């Protein structure tokens, strides 16, 4: 990575406790002490490194806001609520996610069949949120 240039920002987009502590983020930040850390929405406590900012929906104050849009995505999982921040690089139309990656089959899953009889009606509904008008399944 150092061949690509100086690392300016490190983003921790997920709320998973294992990502925040000594297991992943803290050691990573020690390799790049000049990088600024931005973290997803969670109770910020002493993480062992300086947090520059907490990631929020469409935040115009993050350094990358002109090139990359961000949206906080919330979900209920078996252990409770979780969230992660998804990023959309405008120029390349590239979506960056971590734990939110799921397999979307060509046909509506059984759980969505009651939603509507039209075969393709469910497509796109998951991302039909303000700020996600350009995402397509």
Average pLDDT, the chain: 74
Determine the pLDDT at residue 88.
92
Residue 32's CB is within 10 A of a number of other CB atoms, namely 16
The reply to whether 64 falls in a domain is yes
**Is position 63 within any domain?**
yes
Nearest-angstrom CA–CA distance, 58 and 117: 34
pLDDT confidence band for 12 (50 / 70 / 90): confident
Q: Is residue 80 part of a domain?
A: yes
- Residues 57-103: pLDDT tens digits? 889 999 999 999 999 888 766 666 778 888 999 999 998 887 666 55
Is position 117 within any domain?
A: no
Q: What residues make up the domain containing 26?
A: 2-103
Under 8 Å CB-to-CB from 113, ≥6 apart: which residues?
none
CA distances from 18 to 33, 39, 49, 52, 109 (A): 20, 13, 15, 20, 31
């Amino acid at each position: 990575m150092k061949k690509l240039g100086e690392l300016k920002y490190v983003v921790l987009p997920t709320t998973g406790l294992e990502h925040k502590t000594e297991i992943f983020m803290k050691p990573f930040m020690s390799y790049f002490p000049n990088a600024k850390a931005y973290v997803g929405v969670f109770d910020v406590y002493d993480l062992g490194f300086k947090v520059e900012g907490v990631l929020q929906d469409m935040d115009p104050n993050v350094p990358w806001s002109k090139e990359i849009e961000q949206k906080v995505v919330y979900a209920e999982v078996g252990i409770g609520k979780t969230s992660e921040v998804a990023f959309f690089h405008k120029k390349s139309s590239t979506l960056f996610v971590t734990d939110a990656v799921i397999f979307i089959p060509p046909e509506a899953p059984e759980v969505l069949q009651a939603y509507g009889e039209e075969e393709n009606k469910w497509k796109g509904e998951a991302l039909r949120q303000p700020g996600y008008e350009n995402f397509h399944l």
